[in-house]
A and B are shown apart, each in its own frame.
Chain A
Amino acid sequence: MKFWKKATAAAAGVLLLAGLAGCSSSSASSKKASSSSVKQTTVTLWAGGSQNVKDGMSKIVSAFNASPEGKKYHLNLEFILSGTSAASLQDRLVAAKKAGQKKTNYDLILASDSDYAAYTQLGGKSIFEKYDKSQISNLKNDKATISAGKGYLVPYRGTTVVLAYDSAKVKNPPKTAKELYAWIKANPGKFAYNTPESGGAGAAFVQTAVYNYLPKAALTSSDTKWANQWNKGLSLLKSLNSSMYKSGGKVVYPNKNQGTMDLLANGQVEMIPAWQDMTTMALTAGTLPKTVKMTQISPAFTGNLDSLVIPSIGSNKKGAEAVMNFMLSKKAQNILVDTMAAIPVIDQKEITSDNLKYIKGLNAKDFRFSSTGNLATQLIQKWDSEIGNGVK
């Protein structure tokens, strides 16, 4: 009896340690398609982001596999949900590249054009492979132009920060940034933006307020000399501070994109900067009142073009290009608009989704992009110390 007690205790201890050690070595490995009689090869698409990206991509994957191309290539999705403290796609890919791995299953990944700079900065230009134009016949329909990575990135959907407002209370929404700032001052307490570190909508508001005073080139540069010219924009934000939403007499910048959206839904504020796709999803789900509308001001809030790109360490370039081609098809673009309220990159006439009514007037063609690298973090820190922590 005693022996068994001891043995089980020892075994439990060993198992525990083995389990702990095992955790670190278990990495996400893809399921290889079973080698059936048909000569079908596997393509693995790696993506990361929020749940809506996962939902959209899952639909794309099953649509691709059901399409004629799906007979030749079987598409797999590997998804890394953001905020789960798993190693990011960028870390994994760069690590694999630096370790000299070849013929991995990183056949195709999702990356925005601002990600592209970080990838090539860390992993060198050879981390990606140029796509073959002749293999992607739908490319001619792609209306979007990217700011970086031409020949590598195939932009397939856009998303941007817009001005969301309650049309029942605001009859004439501002059309320019100047009008917006004037409106905020004329309507104290009726505008809110979230803290820039907690969500992209607030970050875009802060960034555009600062960079509207700078030359156009500054928005796509990580040169630290631009940081010296932030003062004008920051003092503008300081002057807006007292006109922001107040709770209990104190100015409040809510946390997260959802924080300001809740205030808009409750009628506490009348106007906020918000992600166009998030707002659309909230409108279709009914969590925002029907009177909420979206508009873009000029100069615009910043947005993102999400793209497909082929890592050089992948093992199925032809298959990856087939997926790229499919992503630009009418069918795939409609799925993206339907599930993610994405801004399509093909002509909006080709879109039949109901969500189209929310994105009318927003074109991936005339997006405003930002890619300031490390400066983005520094700007947030600056905002925090001069505005978030209380304007002196």
Chain B
Amino acid sequence: MKKSDDLQKKWTPYLYVLPAFFLILLLIVYPVVTSLSLSLKNKVTSHFTLDNYHYFFTDQVQLGNIGYTLFVAVMTVILALLLGFMLALYIRFNNNSLSKTVVALTVLPQFIPGLVAVYSIMLVVRNGGVLSRIAQSLGFTFNPNLMYSANGLIMVNLWFNIPFAALLLLASLANVRQASIESARDIGADKWTVLFKIILPATYKQFFIAGAFVFMTNVGSFTTPFLMGGNNPQMLGVVLYKEFNQYLDYNKAAALSVILFLLCSLSAIVYVIVNLRQEKWR
């Protein structure tokens, strides 16, 4: 009786983990392994080759696409963190009806389907769209030129990601004790000192975590760049779609998937390192 109890204790956790484990095995590990093996094969002969990778790292157009993707993703991360942090600070240290409305608005983008959001934004910012028409009715010509450009892509990405970053940073700001700030003020610390000596040290970890998530979701994004992006350079999500669906070059598509996977892993590594680091100061 005792023994079977022990056995139960030992195996129950595994049973709980099993469904999730099989899902991961089936939907993540298996595709990654097949992509990897497919990416190392020649399209015609199926022999081992590195040509598929060689293509993406030597072709001028593809190098441009990789650089463009990184540019858009990194700019999105930087701006989303900066603006998201400002938003979080405002919400954390103001408690009035306006700040409550801001909180409600912050959550809103998470409930709007991406496709609907992108089309709505396009309607407003496209040349000849709502903004242009308002300008025209006021008697001057104005074209935002946000369609088919990196600026437009980054703007839409920010629309999606600022609220997300703000919510994550807000969670860490909740850890900053009001008492710490008040006592710092009592001994004569100004606003900037409070920010750099108390608030930032308590939240910097969350910056990396939020940044990692924002980077990951944007580096492989498809909907926004497909609908709003130009013809060249293009973001890798769209390139991947073309290789797979239009050119039917599955080997190159697999190689690009692996490259995207590695790019995402970079931010995953940041995430893991930050999480493992010991809290030093508290």
Binding site for B on A (CB under 8 A): 2, 5-6, 9-10, 12-13, 16-17, 20, 195, 197, 247-255, 262-263, 266-268, 377, 380-381, 384-385, 388-390
Contacts and interface: CB of A to CB of B under 8 A. Distances in A.
Nearest to B226: A255
Interface string B149-163: 100000000000000
Contact of A252 (B129, B231, B246): B231
B187 to A, nearest CB: 53
B248 interface: yes
B29 interface: no
B247 interface: yes
B128 A247 contact: no
Contacts of B128: 263, 266-268
Contacts of A254: 148
A377 B248 contact: yes
A6 B232 contact: no
Interface string B233-261: 00000000010001110000000000000
Contact of A253 (B18, B143, B231, B242): B231
Contacts of A388: 231-232
B22 A266 contact: no
Given A247-B147, A248-B145, A262-B126, A20 B26 contact: yes
Given A2-B8, A247-B148, A389-B231, 14 more contacts: A6-B11, A9-B18, A13-B18, A17-B22, A247-B149, A248-B148, A252-B231, A255-B227, A266-B128, A267-B128, A380-B246, A389-B232, A390-B231, A390-B232
Interface residues of B, number: 30
Nearest first, the 9 A-B pairs at minimum CB distance are: A266-B128, A248-B145, A197-B246, A9-B15, A389-B232, A252-B148, A13-B18, A13-B19, A268-B128
A249 B151 CA distance: 14
A255 B231 CA distance: 9
A197 B230 CA distance: 14
B127 A266 contact: yes
A267 B129 CA distance: 10
Nearest to B5: A2
Interface in B188-247: 226-227, 229-232, 242, 246-247
Contacts of A255: 226-227, 229
Given A247-B145, A388-B232, A6 B15 contact: yes
Contact of B231 (A195, A263, A266): A195
Given A266-B126, A377-B246, A388-B232, A248 B149 contact: yes
